[in-house]
Homo-oligomer: A and B are copies of this chain.
Amino acid sequence: MMVIKIGGGQGINYVGIFENLHALIDAGQQAVVVHGANHEMSVLTERLNLPQRMMTSVSGYESRFTDPATMEAFLMVYCGKVNKTLTALAQGIGLNAVGLSGVDGRLLFGRRKKAIRIIEDGKKKLIRDDYSGRIESVNTKLLRTLLQAGFLPLICPPALSEEFEPINVDGDRAAAKIAAAMGAERLIILSNVPGLLEDKDDETTLIPLIERDRIEEFEHFAKGRMRKKVMGAVEALDGGVGEVIFADARGDRPIDAALNHQGTVIR
């Protein structure tokens, strides 16, 4: 079993990923796919004239401020446009994909953060009208039911809170939770960069291997969205996943490349 996270940035080779996955599934591999939609989210919020605000938590992690209007756009982009477009594309390539969000069958069930401490303009603030949170449990029964019947789960955020509200959760960390809950051997995180870079503007500075025990030495290389990928990698490994690979989603056979350890391997 492997979990594949496909980033939501620009330049992703979806056709290449799905064709590659189709060959692997034909050869007996089991897989669950998780996807993002970050770029499309920016496109829609601009069209709807919804100014987006990024928050930086006191521990230095960046996330999208998700008020009710942003959550509505989030549902439309992630669960609507992107999830269904990718499901149709995967079906066309021969993968029997079923698109799901974390809301469906309480697939990703969690807790909303009722107050978030952030730093804005150098000052500490408390944010209360944000709809984001953390995943507490994964409904593996729904995933196993679909896998056993021959379907490929194609999953996106949001999760569902204990108060039954959709909540924004990070896609990489959702994929890590799913990989741990499903007992996956491998979590592959594909995005539009080759892996973790020493210098984020220079693709030749790729870090090929990080041992879990030494990850703290490498964390300072992770900037922006890469920070949550590293956090997800640690969560997956601590949850029993054998290895996590950050790899490039722009190549011809991105999953094969990741399996050949072209990227950053964390184990």
Q: What residues of chain A have their CB less than 8 Å away from a CB belonging to chain B?
A: 44, 47-48, 72, 75-81, 83-85, 87-89, 91-92, 96-101, 103-106, 141-142, 145-146, 149, 151, 158, 160, 163-166
CB distance from A230 to the nearest CB of B (A): 29
Look across to chain B and name the residue whose beta carbon is closest to the beta carbon of A150.
B141
A106 touches B96 (CB 8 A): yes
Which residues from chain B contact A104 at a C-beta distance below 8 Å? 84, 87, 97-100
A91 touches B142 (CB 8 A): no
A91 touches B103 (CB 8 A): yes
Bound Cα distance from A76 to B145, whole angstroms: 27
Most chain B Cβ neighbours within 10 Å, of A75, A78, A166: A75
B165 touches A88 (CB 8 A): yes
Q: Can you spell out 14 A-B residue pairs with CB atoms less than 8 angstroms apart?
A: A72-B81, A75-B80, A75-B84, A75-B85, A76-B80, A80-B80, A84-B103, A84-B158, A88-B103, A88-B164, A88-B166, A91-B103, A91-B164, A105-B151
Which residues from chain B contact A96 at a C-beta distance below 8 Å? 105-106
Look across to chain B and name the residue whose beta carbon is closest to the beta carbon of A105.
B98
Bound Cα distance from A165 to B164, whole angstroms: 32
A83 touches B79 (CB 8 A): yes
